[in-house]
Amino acid sequence: MARASRDDLSYEEIDQAVRRIDRLDDPVARDRAMELVAETDGDGLRLINDLGVTNTKRLLRLSVDGVDTNNLRQNLFQLYGRGEISADDIATFTKNVEEFKGKKGMDKVLEDISSETANKGNFRGASNHLKIAAKLRKQDDGIAQFEKQTDLINEKNTKIDIITENENIIEVKSERYATVTKEDISYNKFTTQISKYIKYRDERNLGEVIVYFTKKPSQDVLSYLRNKNGIDSVKLYQDGTIKTLV
């Protein structure tokens, strides 16, 4: 999608976006909307139209401790303008951010997507973490903390993506694991990471170790997980549905 300018929008589209901004009852939100539209030109107007009033309000009032949410909003507008994410992507993302904004570690989840160098991969990573967290909550296993560092004795710390209220350890892996083989450095890093999760779980007497993938992992990765003692479950999350692989 090429970057839109006001000249690419019809009078009706511009009028609709302006009226939606005027309908924002919070003056701070109206000011933020006008600033973003000024910075992103036609993209901002089009996104406001595509989001609708409710989702626009949610996006503009986002506030998370430790996160530059102004920069986050601008990054979302820019990714949308480049055609890399959709209005539906943004609506789901902001709804989940609002739901979990009070959880410990949320600032770490949003760190990359709110940075000056944010890209589509940063958005997908944060978005997938939050989508899976939302699924877990619906399964009556709420979120206790995001991005927890292990503190194993005589071991280098590693990051746990999600700790649930039932004390399960959740790891979320990206699409790149679909092509990882035993010869890859990332394979060795992955197996070391999983071993640390299991050790941490056993030392702290926690719940299950569950690995989620956003694309079916390679045979090498899947074989390792099938044969690894201590892994409780391996799941595939795609298009809003969860399938058990192991």
Phi, psi (degrees; rounded to nearest 5) at 141: -130, 90
Instruction: Say whether 110 sits in a helix, a strand or coil.
Output: coil
Domains annotated on the chain, with CATH: 1-138 (no CATH), 140-246 (3.40.1350)
Running DSSP on this structure, what letter comes out for residue 104? B
Q: Stretch 221-236: mean pLDDT, rounded? A: 95
Residue with tokens 């992955």: 190
Q: Stretch 192-210: mean pLDDT, rounded? A: 95
Q: For residue 194, which amino acid is it?
A: I
Q: What does the alpha-carbon distance between residue 238 and residue 181 come to, in Å, rounded to a whole number? A: 22
Instruction: Give the pLDDT confidence score for residue 5 in this predicted structure.
Output: 46
| Strand ranges of the sheet holding 241-244, from the earlier edge strand across to the other edge | 143-149, 159-164, 169-173, 209-213, 233-238, 241-244
- Predicted confidence band of residue 129 (pLDDT cuts 50, 70, 90): very high
The tally of CA atoms less than 13 A away on the side-chain side of residue 136 is 30
Q: What does the alpha-carbon distance between residue 212 and residue 162 come to, in Å, rounded to a whole number? A: 11
Are 197 and 160 a contacting pair, CB within 8 Å? Answer: yes
Pull the structure tokens for residue 188.
């060795």
Q: Stretch 115-140: mean pLDDT, rounded? A: 94
- Give the model confidence (pLDDT) of 37-53 as tens digits: 777 767 788 888 899 88
Instruction: Give the pLDDT confidence score for residue 45 in this predicted structure.
Output: 83
Instruction: Give the pLDDT confidence score for residue 39 in this predicted structure.
Output: 75
Residue 75 in this model has a pLDDT that exceeds 50 = yes
pLDDT more than 90, % of the chain: 68
